[in-house]
Amino acid sequence: MIKVGIIGGSGLDNPDILKNPSQVTMETPYGAPSSDLTCGQIGGVDVAILARHGRKHDIAPSQVNFRANIHALEAHGCTHILASTAVGSLREAIAPGHLVFPSQFIDFTRKRETTFFDQNEVVHTPMAEPFCPSLRSLFAASATELDLVHHSDKTVVTIEGPRFSSKAESHMFRSWNADIINMSATPEVNLAREKKIHYASVAMSTDYDCWRESEESVTWEMIMEVMTQNVDKVIRLFLDVIPKIERYDDVCNG
């Protein structure tokens, strides 16, 4: 049975996109998740939406309880997680408003709880393919059908935040072959992998970080403006992809 968790915000927690919406409060051994789950159906598929930074966007990146969020979705029965995130572009070709489906990550965070296995059990989780290849392929195919400009097989670097990068850091990340930058991909994706949940991310490019000399350096106001103008692209993509997930399920080993 397929059940899809959506992690995001900025319109994705709007119950109007769900049939028969309801609120479910979850408790976990790791504390409270960022929000209640908004549950319902999309195209006949059970869906649970969680707001990563809280309903009022009042949880800073370093304060997100990633373990509680992933545990809550798993406990609710989610087999797949579709995550939305705003990202800065580290490549000329990835312009603001473009969608990106990352396949790899670089973890540049410092303060976060990054594993469920930090007590009495040692588990070494394979992480060569952190983002589900099947979901990424489905995203790309649907984006093509919907005529959405997109980029696949890219690398996201996650920084601690809440500050943005210095120019030196931005150029360093480019030299590491990172393509986009955000503050939330890790440890979210690796925790999902530890739980053997299919996880894929839809990243929306909102700016060029600060490496591009001809561009104004990124600001929060800039990010919100681009997100507001383009969030409908992510919603359209999710509405198209979710009913199709089951036919792709046996392609990926989780």
Tell me the catalytic residues. Answer: 207, 209
DSSP state string for 94-158? S-TT-EEEEEEEEEE--SS---S-SSS-------SS-S-HHHHHHHHHHHHHTT--EEEEEEEEE
- Provide the pairing of β-strand 80-89 with 99-108: unpaired
Classify residue 12 by burial, with Cβ atoms within 10 Å: 0-12, 13-18, 19+. Answer: buried
Contact 138, 50 (CB under 8 A): no
- DSSP string of 15-42, one letter each residue: GGGSEEEEEE---BTTB--SS-EEEEEE
Prior bond to 15 cis, omega within 30?
no
Is the torsion defined by CA of 233, 239, 244, 245 positive or negative?
positive
